[in-house]
């Protein structure tokens, strides 16, 4: 049985994958750090590299520079995020 994203969000951990568009910003950056500390798999993109995107990458996030559809559409179904946040 497949667990849905709501159940995964209620019990965060490595089974939950969250992708954040604007991961290096002042809104989603702190959320990404918090989720990483909870053991959630994090990926995301931002228009440009910054100290925030570098810190997130060092903390374990998969960070893409450039916001293009291929960041998500080229993933296999198993690699696709459960939740996408946009800021």
pLDDT tens per residue, range 21-79: 999 999 999 999 999 999 999 999 999 999 999 999 999 999 999 988 888 888 888 88
- Strands (DSSP E) contained in 1-87 are 17-21, 41-46, 62-65, 83-86
| Domain containing residue 66 | 21-72
Q: pTM of whole model > 0.75?
A: yes
Instruction: For residue 14, tell me if it sits in a domain.
Output: no
C-beta separation of 5 from 16 below 8 A: yes
Beta-strand (E) ranges in 2-60?
17-21, 41-46
Nearest-angstrom CA–CA distance, 70 and 49: 18
Evaluate whether residue 9 is within a structural domain.
no
68 found inside a domain: yes
Rounded to whole angstroms, how far apart are CA atoms 71 and 74?
A: 6
pLDDT tens, position by position, 28-44? 999 999 999 999 999 99
Q: Is residue 62 part of a domain?
A: yes
């Amino acid at each position: 049985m497949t667990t849905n994203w709501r159940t995964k969000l209620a019990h965060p951990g490595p089974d939950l994958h969250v992708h954040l568009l604007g991961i290096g910003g002042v809104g989603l950056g702190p959320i990404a750090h918090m989720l990483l500390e909870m053991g959630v798999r994090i990926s995301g993109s931002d228009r440009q590299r910054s100290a925030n995107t570098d810190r997130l990458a060092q903390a374990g996030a998969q960070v893409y520079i450039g916001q293009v559809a291929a960041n998500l559409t080229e993933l296999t179904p198993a690699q696709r995020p459960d939740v996408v946040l946009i800021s």
